[in-house]
Amino acid sequence: MEFWSSLLIVITFVTIHITLPYWSVLKGRHSHTLLSICSGTALAYVFTYLMPKLALVQTKVTLGLDEAFPVLYGHYVYLLALAGFLTFFALDQKIDHLQHSEGGPAPLKKALALQIVGYGIYSAQIGYLTTIANDPNIQSYIAASLIIGLHVVGVNHFIFHQNPAIFKSTLRWVYAGSTIVGWALGTFISSLEVPALLLNAFIAGGIIITAIRDELPGRSDKKPRVFYLSVIFGCLAILAVKHWQLS
């Protein structure tokens, strides 16, 4: 059951990667509302679903540093999430700088390389996430998968908006393939469990920065009210499902 459910979710994510450039809903006047919903629900997912799961995993993980640096004990997940936040913030800043520089084709090639490597790894982690987020309660798993699927829509739209031609010709296929690779690693190679779980803490920070970047000041088309409501209702939905499981 876990194999088929995670496979179905991964196929859905791959379909999003491949078909998103042709979605008419992201070309109309309501596109920014949808993207604000994607951002808000992704934040709700990180703080009410993913981070609590990773915090539980943290109690089972030792990196051999506890005796030398006891202050680190119990903080691995949060420090890695912070590192992920800063890394993807720096990645976006660097890509934006390269795309707007006047050095000819060389900076654009570097920006493309960063998009392929940085968000290829990100997509692989999303694929792997479907294998560790698999929940015995199907309602909880479906809700979490729906939310992370909305996040995949938001991330892909952001990158597509930066360079539509390159996204259509190259990037969407790279991200689709990376998602499958991440899912396959999580499904068939159990020895990667601990390092992959730690990397998912890192990716949680990445989800935060990629979720909020479209909502930061300086954009006239942002929908802050929709964003706030999406965070609130996303949290309530996840907590309601958890309560339903316990009752």
Distance CA 89, CA 7 (A): 30
Contact 14, 180 (CB under 8 A): yes
Q: What is the per-residue pLDDT for 13?
A: 94
Q: What is the per-residue pLDDT for 135?
A: 57
Is residue 215 predicted with pLDDT exceeding 80? no
User: Model confidence over 229-244: pLDDT tens digits?
Assistant: 999 988 888 888 777 7
Is residue 75 predicted with pLDDT exceeding 70? yes
User: Model confidence over 117-133: pLDDT tens digits?
Assistant: 989 998 998 898 888 66
Distance CA 235, CA 71 (A): 31
Q: How far apart are the first and last CA of the chain?
A: 23
User: Model confidence over 150-191: pLDDT tens digits?
Assistant: 889 988 988 898 888 999 999 999 999 999 999 998 888 766
> Other C-beta atoms within 10 Å of 52: how many?
14
Structural domain including 200 reads: 2-246
Q: Which residue has the higher pLDDT, 91 or 76?
A: 91
Per-residue pLDDT, averaged over 46-55, amounts to 79
Q: What is the per-residue pLDDT for 177?
A: 96
Burial of 219 (0-12, 13-18, 19+ CB in 10 A): exposed
Is residue 92 predicted with pLDDT exceeding 80? yes
Q: How many domains does the chain have?
A: 1
Distance CA 156, CA 119 (A): 10
Per-residue pLDDT, averaged over 81-96, amounts to 89
